[in-house]
Amino acid sequence: MPTSIVWVHGDSLSPTNPALATYPSAPAVWVWDDELLRAWRISRKRIVFIYECLLELPVEIRRGDVVTEIRAFAQEKGAQKVVTTSSPSPRFQRFCRELAQTLEVEVLPVPALVPVTPGMDLQRFSRYWKVAEKVIYR
């Protein structure tokens, strides 16, 4: 029985996700967050994009309350530990605190795509991307 599971979330939807890379044989889960879907009214186009990304990952896809679904997945797999990647999201921080009440939680850092420098404008993705393109496509 595995002792760890991997939780993949929206801030690290990548085949190079550090949690998946560090724990390649651990079962992995993604949870469509019902509360977030209702509150943010995420477009169908974005939902399809996320789903297509998920199809490239070795994850079981679930839907509902994130913490409840992750706990259930861990119990089904006989795991005592959840491994995931960092996120600046306050929701993510709350989920980790809730999960840590019953499971060990390991949060791995995600390498920055582009080094953040003082004065870099991070308020809009398009402004960030203008800087990122110069680094990525040298």
**What's the 3-state SS for 78-126?**
CCCEEEEECCCCHHHHHHHHHHCCCCEEEEECCCCCCCCCCCCCCCCHH
Q: Are strands 81-85 and 4-8 parallel, antiparallel or unpaired?
A: parallel
Q: What is the DSSP string of 25-44?
A: TS-EEEEEEHHHHHHHT--H
pLDDT at 96: 98
Superfamily of domain 4-111: HUPs (3.40.50.620)
pLDDT at 52: 94
Q: Considering all CA atoms of the chain, what is the largest pairwise distance in Å, rounded to the nearest integer?
A: 48
**Cβ pair 20, 61 in contact under 8 A:** no
Query: What digits encode the pLDDT tens for the residues 52-87?
Result: 999 999 999 999 999 999 999 999 999 999 999 999
- pLDDT digits 0-9 by tens, 20-44: 999 999 999 999 998 888 888 888 9
Q: Is the pTM of this model over 0.75?
A: yes
A 10 A CB-CB count for 43 gives 9
Domain boundaries, given as residue ranges, for the chain: 4-111
